[in-house]
Amino acid sequence: MRKSILTIALSVFVLSLFLGLSIVATAAVVGDPVILKGDDALADPEPRGLTPLAQDRPDAPWILNWYMPGPYTANGGFAVSGPIDHIKAASGDALTQESLSTVDGLMKTKTTNLDFGADNGGSEDWTVKTIDAADGNNMSTIYESLEADASNFDTWAIIVIESPKDHVAVMSPAQDDYAQIWVNGDKYHNDTKWTGGATKVNYDIPISLKEGANVLLYRCGESGGSDYFNLHLDSATMDAVSIFPKTAKDKDAFFKEISSVVTAVDARSKLPIIWGAVKALK
């Protein structure tokens, strides 16, 4: 009896060792995260040597809740608009796309509304939008200010990913038309080609996540026809992290949700003020 228990325990140990090694092997195949700098920041994946996967993933763990400003309209088509950082002008230089994809930048949106100007969508407050991953027009659908299947607009969407550790995750976007994605101030994806269907993925992109709060910014530009943006992370990461907005339906609720996640940064930014006050008392 005792021997058989020992055999089972040993088998389980060997099996989990094997599974563990397989997982490590799978993760290794993905490759290291590549941050797009210089000319690569606006270069498509194929010229950079990547091959489209053309995989339909209707059952992937798509992320449905996003923190977003209003749309930038009359963009002149995604090809014209895409290379321009509209966040910079609309925030009065308070933000850039890079800084918006950091905790510090995200915190600024508490008080910084974007104003795209009267001809390009004006100013809508930041709020939480819930998309339907299967909806081939999920970008135009979420905006009351846009007509159904609208053309010529840009959207920006944010999530906070709370990770228990530093690790490399894999993000998989589906977009129509032009996707650009930043994480923690670094650009990881630039793809001007629509993926061919709302849940069709062309690239699995390794990204660096750090312990604690990570900010991901997903910009999608639309010219005509379908307009959708979707994103999922690899299953192991999806199981390990918390993603916000969770149940929040508006800006206030979203910042309440992430308050404990971003506390460390808050405390750090308050330190100089506290020390200044202490000094003043002396």
In the list 154, 176, 234, 257, the residue contacting Ca ion (rule: CB under 5 A) is 176
Q: Which stretch binds Ca ion (CB under 5 A): 59-67, 143-151, 254-262, 268-276?
A: 143-151
Point out which span in 10-18, 50-58, 227-235, 272-280 binds Ca ion (CB under 5 A).
227-235
Task: Report if residue 98 touches Ca ion, rule: CB under 5 A.
Answer: no
Burial class (CB in 10 A: 0-12, 13-18, 19+), 202: buried
- Of 156, 144, 143, 89, nearest in space to 116 by CA: 89
Q: Which class for 13: exposed (0-12), middle (13-18), buried (19 or more C-beta within 10 A)?
A: exposed
Q: Confirm or reject binding of residue 74 to Ca ion (CB under 5 A).
A: no
| Per CB under 5 A, 164 contacts Ca ion | no
Say which residues have a Cβ less than 8 Å from residue 25's Cβ, sequence separation at least 6: none
Nearest residue to the partner Ca ion, using Cβ: 227
Of 2-10, 14-22, 147-155, 230-238, which segment contacts Ca ion by CB under 5 A?
147-155
Which residue, chain included where needed, has tokens 């910084």?
A: 112
Which one of residues 227, 228, 254, 262 is an interface residue with Ca ion (CB under 5 A)? Answer: 227
Question: Does residue 154 bind Ca ion (CB under 5 A)?
Answer: no
Q: Indicate which single residue of 98, 154, 162, 177 sits in contact with Ca ion (rule: CB under 5 A).
A: 177
Between CA 36 and CA 40 the distance in angstroms is: 5
**Residue 118 CB burial class (10 angstroms; 0-12, 13-18, ≥19):** exposed
In the complex, least distance from residue 152 CB atom to Ca ion, rounded to whole angstroms: 8
225 binds Ca ion (CB under 5 A): yes
Cα–Cα distance measured from residue 134 to residue 246, given in angstroms and rounded to the nearest whole number: 19
- Which positions touch Ca ion (CB under 5 A)? 149, 176-177, 222, 225, 227
